[in-house]
Structure 1
Amino acid sequence: MGQNIADMIDGLDLFRDFAYRELEVVAGYLAYQEVPRGDTIFREGDPGSNMLILLEGKMGIYKGGESGQYLLSYEGRGRMVGDMALLDRELRSASCVAESDCQLLSLGGDALDRMALEAPAVAYHFMHNLARLLSKRLRRTSGILAEHLLN
């Protein structure tokens, strides 16, 4: 891996206003993993309790329908997926496939709970930024839905 996790997340949108010391704290709760091209990272309907941050590579997000799988989006460096499962610990709402070799960081619900107990200010900062990004995503999705309904 060569590079430390704090350096890997430095500059990503989720951590854009974190001090380096905060990045080091968050890094202690993240797990690094590599996923080869073509592997399914998680499937729609799987139990979920972690989110992923894509460091390198490209992932496809797919939703099942009556006539197969539909591509919802491609996600690249710095994007997060599975964030809803981290928060609500519900079943996965879509499938995630490695479209290329991927380097990921994972944050599990148990690790987030530990961070909240051990480093509450950093956990609050993380959750605040996560909420901001989720709000942005919801606004974008609402706009797409409204446009679709008007056409």
Structure 2
Amino acid sequence: MSEPTLLNNEIRNWLMDCGLFNQLLPAEFAAASGYFNLSTIAQGEEIFHEGDAGSFMCIIHTGQVAVQKTANDGQQVTIATLRSGRSFGEMAVLDGERRSASCVAASHCQLLNLGKDSLEKMLNDAPKVAAKIIRALAVSLSRRLRMVDGQLLSQQV
């Protein structure tokens, strides 16, 4: 096995810091780091657009991301602002459907990206690590869905 690169070490540290993958062991963070990429996004730049094919997901290391939906009148409405440690774009990577919302950098952002192809490669190369990653994403999505369910219920009362 080759020496981990400085970039892989940085990605490993970011993955450990984000809190999303607390079930991973230190060696598993190191293994997973090779499948993620880093990107820097300028404030106001669109990361992806509602309706696009989803080929990657992101975890925010620094900065804020606005999640936007197109309203009936065609205007973009911000439905959430995500901060450091939050992930977005997982649904399209996991289910292969089109993007359910647009995401725009609300500030200068540093992101960890996991492509759909990289996740598939991880499933083949390191299936136990990939399973833990997918499980963590599923738990995160489940929590979000339960929160939205609670919000909908409180609006009906």
Same fold (TM over 0.5): yes
Percent identity between the aligned chains? Answer: 38
Mapped contact 1:49–1:90 kept (Cα < 8 A): no
Amino acid at match of 1:108: G
Uncovered stretches (5+) of structure 2, i.e. residues with no partner: 1-5
Provide the C-alpha distance between the structure 2 equivalents of 1:132 and 1:81, rounded to a whole number of angstroms.
13
2:155 aligned residue (144, 148, 151): 148
Amino acid at match of 2:143: K
Provide the C-alpha distance between the structure 2 equivalents of 1:37 and 1:25, rounded to a whole number of angstroms.
31
1:134 aligned residue (135, 141, 150): 141
CA RMSD of aligned residues (A): 1.4
Per the alignment, residue 61 of structure 1 pairs with: 67
Q: Could you tell me the TM-score, scaled by structure 1's length?
A: 0.94
Moved over 3 A (4+): none
2:43 maps to 1:37: yes
1:110 aligned residue (107, 117, 123): 117
Per the alignment, residue 98 of structure 1 pairs with: 105
Uncovered stretches (5+) of structure 1, i.e. residues with no partner: none
Cα deviations by residue, 1:21-78 (Å, 9 ceiling, x for unpaired): 1111111000111000110111111111211111000000011111312111000101
Cα deviations by residue, 1:95-135 (Å, 9 ceiling, x for unpaired): 10101100011111111111011001111111111111111
SS of residue matched to 2:149: helix
Q: Could you tell me the TM-score, scaled by structure 2's length?
A: 0.90
What is the number of residues matched between the two proteins? 150
